[in-house]
Amino acid sequence: MNQISKIHPSKMGLLASLYVSQYIPLMFFYEALPVYMRYSGSSLQTIALVNLLILPVVFKFLWSPLIDRYGYTRWGHYRFWIVLFQLIVSLLTVVCAFIDISQNLNLLLIIGFVMCVFCTSQDIAADAMAVNLLSPAERGLGNGIQVSGHYLGAVIGSGGMLILLDKIGWQKTMLLIALIMLISLLPILLHQEQVRVKPPGQAPTIWRDLGEFFSRRELWLWLVILATYTTGSSMAITMFRPLLVDLGLSATQIGLLLGVVSYGVGILGALVGGLTVNFFDRKRLLIAGGCFQALVISAFLLPAWGFSSLIIGLINGSKTSPFRAILDDQYTP
């Protein structure tokens, strides 16, 4: 109870708005777009190119020192970057609304890639702000908010927008995404970030920052754990949505199945993981999470054998959300 009493709801609300907004366009392109492309007659080879859009998430560490080093301090160091990136993504979303996907798919994918770069850059700034904003007692729940915010963004950007694509079409759906992104700027615009005081002495270079980071011996084992922990579920989900299209499900059914039901379970699991990390042994929770993940991934065989229902989507969508929050918290500075 003492740990929970130290949590400030205003901080959690701010972080929730940041993590939800940055994942809406990211998950739209990564999860809803492949389904829409499949209905439009795109081949699986073409749909597979959409997975390249996620590359900025993998390599964002390369430019994260730039965001940490430079900024407009008068507006708030990380607040400046977050607002700038989100405005750019909103503008690019409006541009996408007027692209004919059947005639200019390559242009759409290029713009989508650029949008993913800015979304992941916003994630860098949001994570840094969270570290500075949260006390040690708040970081467990903060990581739960992060993961559940990502899942809520996926519910909106993947499931919700996929349903709207089926109802109101491409252009109106993209314009709605842009509007949501602009509205979600309000919490960060109202937030007053504390001015950062740079320590005296020579500022290290970006490459020195990266060198010091990767020179830590204990880090390499952790990087291996992070890579192997998330690879399995990502590989399993890649072509899962086009598979459901081929099984005959409508866009609305797929949106409800995988965008709303599954990520709804993910949000609940993330909050549970964020709350329990302060009370249980993290290593044992991670081992249990790995076993649970293996069981869940095996459930993806059921749709491949022709089974499709909300129950199957619920099982597949649950993923390892409670343990993602634990995994994130395990290496929080």
Q: Are 170 and 101 in contact (CB under 8 A)?
A: yes
67 versus 242: the higher-pLDDT residue is 67
CA distances from 286 to 145, 226, 277, 328, 330 (A): 18, 11, 10, 11, 9
Identity (one letter) of the amino acid at 204?
Answer: P
Q: What does the pLDDT look like over 212-260, one tens digit per residue? A: 767 777 777 777 777 676 666 666 666 677 777 777 777 777 777 766 7
Burial tier of 99 (Cβ tally within 10 Å: 0-12, 13-18, 19+): middle
Q: Which of 132, 138, 190 is nearest to 329 (CA)?
A: 138
The mean pLDDT of the chain is 75
pLDDT band at 198; cut points 50, 70, 90: low
Reply yes or no on whether the pLDDT at 331 is more than 60.
no
Structure confidence at residue 309 (pLDDT): 55
Burial tier of 77 (Cβ tally within 10 Å: 0-12, 13-18, 19+): buried
Residue percentage of the chain with pLDDT more than 90: 14
- Which of 98-102, 303-307, 320-324 has the weakest average pLDDT? 320-324
279 versus 195: the higher-pLDDT residue is 279
Q: Which of 214, 226, 234 is nearest to 31 (CA)?
A: 234
User: What number is the average pLDDT over the span 304-314?
Assistant: 57
- Give the start-to-end residue ranges of the domains of the chain: 2-193+216-330
Side-chain-side CA neighbours of 46 within 13 Å: the count stands at 17
User: What number is the average pLDDT over the span 261-270?
Assistant: 70
Residue 117 and residue 67: Cα distance in Å, rounded?
Answer: 13
170-183 vs 161-168: helix crossing angle, rounded to 10: 140
Enter the pTM of the model. Answer: 0.70
Q: Which CATH superfamily is domain 2-193+216-330 in?
A: MFS general substrate transporter like domains (1.20.1250.20)
